[in-house]
Amino acid sequence: MKSLHKWALGIVIASAAALPALAQGDPASSSDLITLDDSRPSVSASIALPANTTGVIHLDLSMASVVVTDAQDNVVFRQADPRVRALELSIAPNTGTHTVRVERLPAHRQALARISSQVELTDIGPVDAAATNVLTLDQGYSLPLTSGTPSSNVRLEVPMNNSAVVTASYPSSGATAQLVDNAGHVVATAGVNIDGLGIVLDTGIYDFTLRSSPIAADTSVDVHMRAADAVSYALLTAPADSPMTVSDTTSAPAASEPCTATVAVEAANMRSGPGTGYSVLGFGLAGLNVPVGGTNPDQSWLVVGTPNGASAWVARNLVELSGSCSDLTVFNVPSLDETSAQVLPNNGFRGDDDHDEGGEIGEREFENESEHD
């Protein structure tokens, strides 16, 4: 078998607007900073590796989501959480080309991102061995992956007013990874095409789980966590814009009921923007009632609050409105439609589900099962 080599990924960024030159392995540079706003709510990058090589894509993020798909449009990584400040994704060898799509989170008018490549995951330095599978700063733990233990997890406790770097490398294990917060909300998921990752998280408690089946050979995976400032991570500053708050009804007249939307179909896709071309963040099942924070210019999509405290866009024809909805704030976010059906993420809001025009069916509810738009 040919030996594997480390390789700085070939990256080509595609966007409707011109972009600055892409820095290779220089996340501290400001010249390659990408601003995502109404005129450019998302950006895509194509990444490729020569045969029998591995490489890492580095993303610095502020109020941005990330979806990575393979050449067959299968989602191999997904995150849409403002607590994720940076990512390093190691691409497994011989898995073909991938597309990285970075989008502005729907609750914000502006997001920042930087995309670069590097040879391998950042070495975050020495850590102390934890006595249990509960980690705080400057600690590490070895997760077993064996035929008897194909799934293993570690709890990550990021102290208040801190950001932490968490790393795990698991090549040739065929493992998938999931990061969930202590409220049960999925923060990030990674498929088998990702064989190692680094993730910078803000304050919180998270569970990191690795699953591998079948196991080719017994192994253990080292999970390390250190303070981001100890690793000299140059975290992006949050954009100086006002977030689109969908739960604030203080501006409504005292006698008026706030505008709410109730899912009127079996299931409705909750998207990152107004249109079927935007990624699906989850879906709401029939009967789910959510606050409405605004609409797009032609009023065909609504930005709503989700049960997990975030926000998303839903097609107007999939919900019934109640309350004072005649004077909604208009957000000038470009519509983006696609004709192909999109697979839903494993995340949902309970009410009852959403369908795309292509009739896509999803797995992650906000909560129940079915879907439109």
Q: For 165-180, b where at least 16 C-beta lie within 10 A, e where not — what string?
A: bbbbbbeebbbbbbbb
Is residue 91 over pLDDT 90?
Answer: yes
- Residue 368's φ and ψ, nearest 5 degrees, are 145, -145
**Mean pLDDT calculated for residue range 79-88:** 94
Is the backbone peptide bond immediately before 258 cis, with ω within 30 degrees of 0?
no
Q: Work out whether strand 128-129 and strand 139-145 pair parallel, antiparallel, or are unpaired.
A: parallel
Note the pLDDT tens digit of each residue in 192-233: 899 999 999 999 999 999 988 666 678 889 999 999 989 877
Contact 268, 283 (CB under 8 A): yes
Domains along the sequence of the chain with CATH = 1-242 (2.60.120.380), 260-367 (2.30.30.40)
pLDDT score at 359: 32
- Residue 60's φ and ψ, nearest 5 degrees, are -95, 135
| DSSP bridge partners of 261 | 290, 321
When comparing pLDDT for 108 and 189, which is higher?
Answer: 189
Note the pLDDT tens digit of each residue in 290-316: 888 888 888 999 988 887 767 888 999
Is residue 23 over pLDDT 90?
Answer: no
pLDDT score at 228: 92
pLDDT score at 21: 30
Residue type, 354: D
When comparing pLDDT for 80 and 17, which is higher?
Answer: 80
When comparing pLDDT for 244 and 60, which is higher?
Answer: 60
SS3 for 284-303 is EECCCEEEEEEECCCCCEEE
Is residue 143 over pLDDT 80?
Answer: yes
| Tokens linked to 214 | 């079948």
pLDDT score at 355: 41
pLDDT score at 342: 44
Strand order in the sheet with 260-263: 319-322, 260-263, 289-295, 301-305, 311-315, 267-271, 280-285, 348-350, 366-367
pTM comes to 0.66
| DSSP bridge partners of 129 | 140
Among 66, 18, 47, 36, smallest CA distance to 238 is for 36
| DSSP bridge partners of 267 | 285
Note the pLDDT tens digit of each residue in 320-352: 998 888 888 777 777 888 644 444 444 555 543
Contact 275, 342 (CB under 8 A): no
Among 329, 326, 348, 319, smallest CA distance to 261 is for 319
Note the pLDDT tens digit of each residue in 228-278: 989 877 888 877 654 544 444 334 344 457 888 999 998 899 888 888 888
**Mean pLDDT calculated for residue range 100-119:** 89
pLDDT score at 17: 31
Note the pLDDT tens digit of each residue in 159-198: 999 999 999 999 888 889 999 998 888 899 999 899 999 9
Q: Which residue has the tokens 């540079």?
A: 29
**Mean pLDDT calculated for residue range 71-93:** 92
Is residue 129 over pLDDT 90?
Answer: yes
- Reported as a pLDDT band with limits 50, 70 and 90, residue 121 is very high
Q: Three-state SS for 16?
A: coil
pLDDT score at 331: 78
